[in-house]
Structure 1
Amino acid sequence: MLLKTLVLLVVSYFWNTFGTITFMIKNVCFLLGVFCVLAFAKAQQNPTSQPIKNDSVKKDTTEYFYIDGDSVSSIELDKVMLLQDLNFDSRYERIRYLLLKRKVLKVWPYAKMAAERLTVLDQRLASLETKNQRKKYSKMVEDYIEDEFKAELKKLTKTEGQILIKLIHRQTGDTAYALLKRLRSGWSAFWFDKTASLFDMSLKEEYLPETVVDDFYVEDILLNHIIDEKLEEQEPAIEFDYFKARSNWKDYERNLPPTYDSIQLAARAQRIKEYKEKKARKERRKRK
């Protein structure tokens, strides 16, 4: 019910500000962030401790190995993943990777906390006894989102929004489209997805690191930062094989045409030039 309330808030905000293309872009980004916003809406709760069952007889489950007649107890160690840095042959692909890194680190906390809190929030609503209590709680959540997080989520760029859609699927197991369809309606999901398509975005996007190069880069960035303890680990809700994805990426790089870098770098330079010219025109209009 909380998710439905949040979607209703987004729908109301979206259509009230649908007047210009600029607002459309901002609202699409806001829609992409609605599911991760749930992370911030959680009411403060203290977890209840569970009773620990004590057996009357302690059983020794230690395993022993015998080396040269001496017994040595075994110790179970945590799994450790060791990753080598990606060795890029393509300069343009390395640039893509580095640009993605900053964006991934920006949107990862939203997707991670959304996955952690979705169940807790639903349980909180289910524990409320009356419709009036649930309505008041939902209104409190709406006000909290409106005051604290709407402006921040609307700052997401198109690329960051696309990454967020992918990570929502990674962490929850559902696409943004499926979540909206289930919690709002199929009609709303259809029209929001159509609006997103105007900006080359799709709410139906899935996280596919084994077959999509950008998704593999995102996964590699996450794993390296988790191993370095710069990000807190969270298991994905979907299954995929990182090492198979890495092998597929190597094949992808080996099969790039000889002219790939020169063509892509020239196109990138042109995009940067056009962006700077557009920014300069905006600055001149402001000064007039």
Structure 2
Amino acid sequence: MFRYSLLLLLSILYSSFFLQAQEMNPDSISVLEEIIIGNDTFPVVKVDQVQVVERKFDSNLDEMRYYRFRRKVYKVYPYAQMAKEILAEIDEEKKNSKKKRHFKKYRKDKEDALREKFEEELKKLTVTEGQILVKLINRETGNSCYRLIKELKNGFTAWLWQKVAKRYGYDLRDEYITDAPENFDLEFVIAEIEGTLSQFYGKRK
């Protein structure tokens, strides 16, 4: 059930992006590629060459848990990047938009289209994958999911999904703290994906 809140957030962001694509010069925007694996469609985000560093673990169980977590981060990372890019476009569009009524109508149409396209993929996310995605969206956008939903929809919608999220152990109001001990593994995997492990280790010395 809570996965629908993630779908809602991403659909709002994605639909707004398509609105801008219709109104802006195609050369001024970047369109995300997609890859189809089986019956699933995933957004593709191009990043620099991935750095892989061997890590030492206290036990085989710790190692197994880490690599399971790592796979989940790799899975949801593109969605967070999509949110980041689209939010940047939305901020720019808000500065130039003069017709809110047309914006809302078009956004609703695209939201419905995205729900049809990505609903099944997001419904398949596990609880842990959903938690990671919430953290990544917060990290990449600088805003909590609660705040994003409130700004892009309304306060009632944000409150409603916060209530649902609480039932599944989430808190959409949580702010992401990069240096928090509980986020060490997530930051490590992100640095691996983005090819910034040397900077990561430099900051933590």
TM-score (norm 1): 0.52
Q: Of 219, 229, 234, which residue of structure 1 is paired with 2:187?
A: 219
Q: CA deviation at 1:90?
A: 3.2
Q: CA deviation at 1:204?
A: 2.1
Aligned to 1:196: 165
> For 1:19-58, what aligned pairs fall within 5 Å after superposition?
25=1, 28-38=2-12, 40-41=14-15, 42-43=17-18, 44=21, 45-48=25-28
Q: CA deviation at 1:83?
A: 7.7
Q: What value does the CA root-mean-square deviation take over the aligned residues?
A: 3.2
Aligned to 1:142: 111
> For 1:175-254, what aligned pairs fall within 5 Å after superposition?
175-213=144-182, 215-227=183-195, 242-243=200-201
Aligned to 1:97: 66
Q: CA deviation at 1:187?
A: 4.3
Q: What is the one-letter code of the residue matched to 1:171?
A: E
Q: CA deviation at 1:243?
A: 3.8
Which one is further off, 144-153 or 127-136?
127-136
Q: CA deviation at 1:132?
A: 4.6
> For 1:151-162, what aligned pairs fall within 5 Å after superposition?
151-162=120-131
Structure 1 pair 36–138 and aligned structure 2 pair: CA distance change class (3 A): closer
Q: Of 147, 166, 175, which residue of structure 1 is paired with 2:135?
A: 166
Q: What is the one-letter code of the residue matched to 1:163?
A: I
CA contact (8 A) 2:191 2:200 kept: no
Residues 154-209 of structure 1: CA deviation (Å, up to 9, x unaligned)? 22111111001100111000111222233444444333222212121211233334
Aligned to 1:133: 102
* In structure 2, distance between residues paired with 1:30 and 1:152: 11
- Unaligned regions of 5+ residues in structure 1, if any? 1-24, 50-81, 228-232, 234-240, 248-288
Structure 1 pair 219–204 and aligned structure 2 pair: CA distance change class (3 A): same
Q: CA deviation at 1:111?
A: 0.5
Structure 1 pair 108–193 and aligned structure 2 pair: CA distance change class (3 A): same
* In structure 2, distance between residues paired with 1:139 and 1:84: 44
* In structure 1, distance between residues paired with 2:81 and 2:3: 18
Identity of aligned residues (%): 34
CA contact (8 A) 2:165 2:172 kept: yes
Q: What is the one-letter code of the residue matched to 1:29?
A: R
CA contact (8 A) 2:76 2:133 kept: yes
* In structure 2, distance between residues paired with 1:48 and 1:84: 37
* In structure 2, distance between residues paired with 1:39 and 1:192: 16
CA contact (8 A) 2:11 2:115 kept: no
Residues 51-99 of structure 1: CA deviation (Å, up to 9, x unaligned)? xxxxxxxxxxxxxxxxxxxxxxxxxxxxxxx884322123332222101
Aligned to 2:87: 118
Q: What is the one-letter code of the residue matched to 1:35?
A: L
CA contact (8 A) 1:175 1:203 kept: yes
**Greater CA radius of gyration, 1 or 2?**
1
- Unaligned regions of 5+ residues in structure 2, if any? 30-50
- Structure with bigger helix share is 2
Q: CA deviation at 1:47?
A: 2.8
CA contact (8 A) 1:39 1:116 kept: no
